[in-house]
């Protein structure tokens, strides 16, 4: 077979494996190895050893297990319950009551976990029983938590941004900073929508009274204070230029352990469970990254990246036209492939095209994460939908309907980022940080 036919055959294998339900890392790795065997025989496998060492021997990637461990400690010590309780006393007076607490809680936990799944699951377990007890709108409750969970990969730290930065050799610290303003803006948009919706239809969200005395108000601030310390210690150390993201993640783990001991329900079982959870999550994430590096090595031998670049350049698309094409691509992929799979499959192919068009990789990193956020609440494979539905035990269709308004707000933010790139680029352009 000619190289072109080999490549087409392998891509058919890749799509077929996804279609029959094979997990992302194996669906990537199997056709990659198959192509190497078809292209160069057994000699093609020699490069896998170098790829294996080069891909995993990464100082940047070592931030992932540290951030995951930090979030796991807080989750296992039940500190997510404490932050939700504190926030409910502070923001539940706003129209929408505890629905506002959902978004604010997701935003704060997003600044700790770096994972959409962890954020949605943590806040969902805490909030949904209380929302059901108080007769909040089931659709709006589920939708706010599913959409709020997506903030976990936009508001730094973000595991998706770490993986993207690894593949593109882009400063992870600058990617983190670029995600701050869009993340806060999206949070404000979500909370504004809930307030307007609750004001128009008060039956959707019962009125809440919040803190009733100075003692309760101080207690609410005391519940949130450890998280402020943790966020300030991790993200603040990065933004001040004193440490790298990996070093900040290590600082975060130490602070999380201290906070869990003094503010949470902490014992040996909690730390054991946190470490076990970290191993499971990171094993999955890093295996996907490893498979993607093998995939990248295979397509580099095939020259696919150069061919795609030449094809798109010869189409003479404008930047806006290219962006629209990417928008369509990621909208479709978001319905079929999970978040890290979208990054590791597409970025090695598209990054040369972005450079050819002069698109800033930091700005595109934020846009890509926003695409992924949309995918995580897009049926049929949007993982946040299933996380919330499994906790809620309600209809998946109700969760999907509840997320539609939030999905539309993400489109609005996407348009704002295209029209006003400074929303993402202003903060990293004005700060000197360690890559």
Q: Are residues 416 and 402 in the same domain?
A: yes
Q: What would the pLDDT profile of 312-333 be if each residue is shown by its tens digit?
A: 667 777 888 888 888 877 777 7
Q: What would the pLDDT profile of 162-205 be if each residue is shown by its tens digit?
A: 888 888 888 888 898 899 999 999 999 999 999 999 899 888 88
Q: What would the pLDDT profile of 352-408 be if each residue is shown by its tens digit?
A: 888 888 889 999 999 998 988 887 787 766 777 777 877 777 777 888 888 889 989
Residue of 311, 304, 423 lying closest to 360 (CA atoms): 423
Q: Are residues 125 and 258 in the same domain?
A: yes
Note whether 109 and 119 are within 8 A (CB): yes
Q: Are residues 141 and 286 in the same domain?
A: yes
- Number of domains within the chain: 2
Q: Are residues 267 and 399 in the same domain?
A: yes
Q: Are residues 142 and 186 in the same domain?
A: yes
Angle at 44 between CA 39 and CA 48, to 5 degrees: 135
Strands (E), 58-156: none
Top mean pLDDT of 89-103, 278-292, 361-375, 383-397 is at: 361-375
Q: Which residues contact 192 (CB under 8 A, 6 or more apart)?
A: none
Is residue 247's pLDDT more than 60?
yes
Q: Are residues 107 and 183 in the same domain?
A: yes
Q: Are residues 1 and 95 in the same domain?
A: no
- For residue 96, the model assigns a pLDDT of 84
- For residue 182, the model assigns a pLDDT of 93
Q: Pick the last residue of a domain from 9, 26, 57.
A: 57
Q: Are residues 261 and 353 in the same domain?
A: yes
Q: Which residues contact 367 (CB under 8 A, 6 or more apart)?
A: 414, 417, 418, 424
What does the pLDDT average to over 262-277?
85
Is residue 431's pLDDT more than 80?
no
Q: Are residues 96 and 11 in the same domain?
A: no
Query: Is the residue at 257 inside a domain?
Result: yes
User: Structural domain of residue 255, as residue ranges?
Assistant: 59-429
Query: Is the residue at 435 inside a domain?
Result: no
Query: Is the residue at 400 inside a domain?
Result: yes
Q: Are residues 26 and 137 in the same domain?
A: no
Helix (H, G, I), strand (E, B) or coil at 243: coil
- What is the pTM for the complete model shown? 0.80
**CA atoms of 399 and 15, how far apart (whole Å):** 28
Q: Are residues 339 and 254 in the same domain?
A: yes
Query: What tokens does 16 get?
Result: 């077929």
- The two most distant CA atoms of the chain are separated, in Å, by 77
Q: Pick the last residue of a domain from 21, 40, 57.
A: 57
Note whether 150 and 375 are within 8 A (CB): no
**CA atoms of 94 and 1, how far apart (whole Å):** 66
Note whether 98 and 92 are within 8 A (CB): yes
Q: Pick the last residue of a domain from 10, 26, 57.
A: 57
Residue of 197, 74, 218 lying closest to 136 (CA atoms): 197
Q: Where are the alpha helices (DSSP H) in 114-158?
A: 116-133, 138-149
Query: Is the residue at 434 inside a domain?
Result: no
Q: Give helix then strand counts, H and E, for the chain.
A: 20, 0
Query: Is the residue at 216 inside a domain?
Result: yes
**CA atoms of 291 and 341, how far apart (whole Å):** 10
Query: Is the residue at 117 inside a domain?
Result: yes
Helix (H, G, I), strand (E, B) or coil at 95: coil
Task: Classify the phi-psi angles of 211: left when phi > 0, otherwise alpha if psi is within -120 to 50, otherwise beta.
Answer: beta
Query: Is the residue at 82 inside a domain?
Result: yes
**CA atoms of 63 and 327, how far apart (whole Å):** 29
Query: Is the residue at 101 inside a domain?
Result: yes
DSSP 241: T
DSSP 57: S
Q: Where are the alpha helices (DSSP H) in 243-267?
A: 245-263
Q: Are residues 160 and 135 in the same domain?
A: yes
Query: What tokens does 142 get?
Result: 């589920």
Query: What tokens does 1 get?
Result: 């077979």
What does the pLDDT average to over 225-244?
81
Q: How far is CA 335 from CA 20, 68, 371, 379, in A?
A: 15, 25, 11, 6
Q: Where are the alpha helices (DSSP H) in 20-60?
A: 24-40, 46-56
Percentage of residues in the chain with pLDDT exceeding 90?
A: 11
Note whether 161 and 176 are within 8 A (CB): yes
**CA atoms of 173 and 165, how far apart (whole Å):** 9
Query: What tokens does 22 get?
Result: 């094979």
């Amino acid at each position: 077979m000619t190289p072109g036919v080999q490549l087409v055959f392998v891509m058919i294998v890749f799509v077929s494996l996804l279609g029959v339900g094979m997990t992302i890392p194996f669906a990537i790795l199997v056709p990659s190895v198959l192509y190497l065997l078809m292209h160069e025989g057994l000699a093609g496998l020699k490069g896998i050893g170098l790829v294996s060492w080069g891909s995993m021997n990464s100082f940047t990637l070592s931030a992932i297990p540290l951030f995951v461990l930090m979030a796991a400690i807080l989750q296992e010590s039940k500190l997510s319950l404490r932050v939700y309780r504190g926030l409910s006393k502070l923001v539940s007076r706003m129209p929408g009551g505890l629905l506002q607490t959902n978004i604010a809680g997701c935003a704060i936990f997003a600044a700790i976990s770096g994972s959409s799944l962890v954020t949605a699951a943590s806040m969902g377990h805490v909030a949904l029983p209380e929302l059901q007890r108080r007769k909040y709108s089931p659709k709006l409750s589920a939708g706010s938590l599913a959409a709020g969970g997506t903030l976990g990969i936009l508001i730094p730290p973000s595991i998706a941004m770490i993986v993207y930065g690894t593949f593109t050799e882009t400063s992870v610290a600058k990617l983190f900073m670029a995600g701050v303003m869009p993340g806060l803006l999206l949070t404000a948009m979500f909370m504004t929508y809930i307030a307007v919706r609750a004001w128009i239809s008060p039956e959707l969200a019962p009125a809440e009274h919040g803190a009733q005395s100075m003692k309760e108000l101080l207690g609410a601030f005391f519940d949130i204070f450890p998280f402020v310390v943790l966020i300030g210690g991790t993200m603040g150390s990065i933004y001040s230029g004193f440490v790298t993201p990996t070093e900040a993640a290590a600082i975060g783990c130490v602070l999380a352990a201290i906070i869990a001991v003094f503010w949470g329900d902490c014992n040996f079982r909690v730390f054991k469970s946190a470490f076990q959870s970290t191993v499971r999550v990171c094993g999955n994430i890093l295996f996907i990254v490893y498979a993607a590096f093998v995939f990248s090595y295979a397509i580099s031998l095939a020259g696919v990246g150069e061919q795609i670049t030449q094809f798109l350049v010869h189409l003479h698309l404008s930047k806006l036209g290219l962006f629209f094409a990417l928008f369509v691509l990621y909208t479709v992929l978001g319905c079929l492939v999970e978040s890290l799979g979208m990054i590791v499959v597409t970025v090695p192919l598209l990054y040369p095209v972005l450079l050819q068009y002069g698109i800033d990789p930091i700005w595109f990193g934020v846009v890509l994460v926003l695409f992924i956020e949309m995918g995580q609440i897009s049926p049929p494979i949007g993982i946040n939908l299933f996380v919330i539905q499994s906790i809620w035990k309600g209809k998946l269709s109700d969760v999907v309907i509840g997320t539609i308004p939030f999905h539309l707000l993400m489109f609005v933010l996407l348009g704002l980022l295209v029209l006003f790139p400074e929303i993402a680029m202003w903060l990293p352009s004005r700060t000197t940080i360690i890559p």
